[in-house]
Amino acid sequence: MSAQDTALIVVDAQESFRQMPDWDPSTAASYLARQQALIDGATAVGMPIVQIFHVDADDTFTLESGFVRTLAEISLTPDVTFHKGVHSALVDTGLEAWLRENGIRRVIVSGIRTEQCCETTTRHASDLGFAVDFVTEATLTFPMTHASGAVFSAEDIRVRTELVLSGRFARIVTVEQALAPLPVAA
């Protein structure tokens, strides 16, 4: 597979999340740098870039809020943009049709939140027959508290997400691995 049959999907990298109480600029900094490196690399090789925005009735996720726009630190000129109202970017958005019409066979998933919209989009894309690269370092999530009171750090959640996706739904890769040409099968 090549840059021509691969698309980068940037899921929910939007200002809505900056309004959330868990937003931490120091934690977000690494994600933002790796997300931008992935976008820049995809742009450099002519890979199509798909931007996904989450839109729902929550105050910070409505179009009227003004927060459904690209995070200020990210420079992105997408080939196409879709709005979604559920976790998967492939439900009722037109994304699947766009990918197929453009000969896309492999997707690279990045964005916000690692274990929610990024993971769900990954599983859905895999089930639809797309090869999927999941770039954990170009995803962002936040600590979560289990019903038992146990707190799972963002790193705990990233590790768990890699565990359940790897080899089943996706290839877990770094930014550099996602952008490298895949070996040609003999």
Looking at the domain assignment, is residue 185 inside a domain? Answer: no
Q: Say what percent of the chain tops pLDDT 70.
A: 96
Q: Which domain holds residue 58?
A: 3-179
**pLDDT value of residue 2:** 74
Contact 50, 7 (CB under 8 A): yes
| 71-124: pLDDT as tens digits | 999 999 999 999 999 999 999 999 999 999 999 999 999 999 999 999 999 999
Is pLDDT above 90 for 11? yes
Q: For residue 186, is it within any domain?
A: no
- Under DSSP, the state recorded for 73 is T
- As given in the structure block, the two tokens for residue 10 are 């940037």
Give the chain's domain count: 1
**pLDDT tens for each residue of 26-80:** 999 999 999 999 999 999 999 999 999 999 999 999 999 999 999 999 999 999 9
118 part of a folded domain: yes
Q: How far is CA 49 from CA 21, 27, 58, 82, 108, in A?
A: 29, 25, 27, 11, 9
pLDDT at 68: 97
Report yes or no on 114 lying in a domain.
yes
Question: What are the DSSP calls for 91-137, one per residue?
Answer: SSSSHHHHHHHTT--EEEEEEE-IIIIIHHHHHHHHHTT-EEEEEEE
Examine residue 184 and state whether it is found in any structural domain, yes or no: no
